[in-house]
Amino acid sequence: MIIRNNRELRARYHRLGAGDCCIGTVSAKYLKPFMLIDLVQRGVECYPSALSQMLNSSKVAQAFIYQQWMVPQTTAICRRADLIAAISHYAAQQIEAVVSKQDHMHCGHGVRRWESLEHLYNALGFDSSAYPFVLQPFVENFTDVRVIMAGDYEEAYTRRNPDNFRGNLAAGGKSHPYELDENNREFCRAAMQRGRFPYAHIDLMIGDDGLTYLCEIALNGGTHGARIGREELDRKKKELLLHLSKKGGSQ
């Protein structure tokens, strides 16, 4: 049985089993994690993969899974004890300015700069709802690159805003085409393989020292600044998922 949309998934959910496949992301805000685990346990193939769908939903999960790919000392802060530990660790590394990234927020709205971890801790002292979030050192000089990969389609462009450290185009940034070198291309492909992303919008930080770090990876993202339009990109993604489901291979 092949499930092609969420309406069909809900109608036939309890009849699915090994050998069946579900094409497209599962849309169920509160039940999604449980549904994906249940589908995988029952042997249902998901395209995109269950792992990529879960990582797509959480910056904190990405910080945990991709920690070694990100700016050194990036960590997932899930509770106050994690933040207290990070204060001591960052101080030992002589790290002062930091950035926090609120989970489930997009377009740079959840990205905040703090002059020190003590400022951050004091601000969160009476607000337990702020957890979890991503914490990383503030990096000042780097090139912000958005990469789109879907099957044989690839393009990259820079994002820059001289008036705001958030380079997001939604925050007023400007874009310019960027030529990926083979090392960065392989970096992106390896990141997709790690999270079993069949296609991806990948945000990279390329430092002045030439080192490349992963900022974020997502199944979907804005196309403002890209050569390809939303309709064409969605078509390529749909065709790729259909090809993978027929092939029955790994993503």
In order along its 251 residues, the chain shows pLDDT tens digits of: 899 999 999 999 999 999 999 999 999 888 999 999 999 999 999 999 999 999 999 999 999 999 999 999 999 999 999 999 999 999 999 999 999 999 988 777 889 999 999 999 999 888 888 899 999 999 988 999 999 999 999 999 998 877 676 766 666 678 899 999 999 999 999 999 999 999 999 999 999 888 999 999 999 988 888 999 999 999 999 999 999 998 764 45
Whether residue 114 is contained in a domain is answered as yes
For the chain, the domain total comes to 3
CB 76 within 8 A of CB 30: no
Q: What is the pTM of this model?
A: 0.91
Residues 129 and 148 in one domain: no
Residues 161 and 117 in one domain: no
Residues 123 and 181 in one domain: no
Range of the domain at 193: 142-243
Q: What is the CATH number of the domain that holds 218?
A: 3.30.470.20
Residue 104 burial class via C-beta count within 10 angstroms: exposed 0-12, middle 13-18, buried 19 and up: exposed
Lookup: tokens for 46: 């998901």
pLDDT in tens, 135-180: 999 998 899 999 999 999 999 999 887 767 676 666 667 889 999 9
Choose one of 88, 109, 137: the last residue of a domain.
Answer: 137
Whether residue 250 is contained in a domain is answered as no
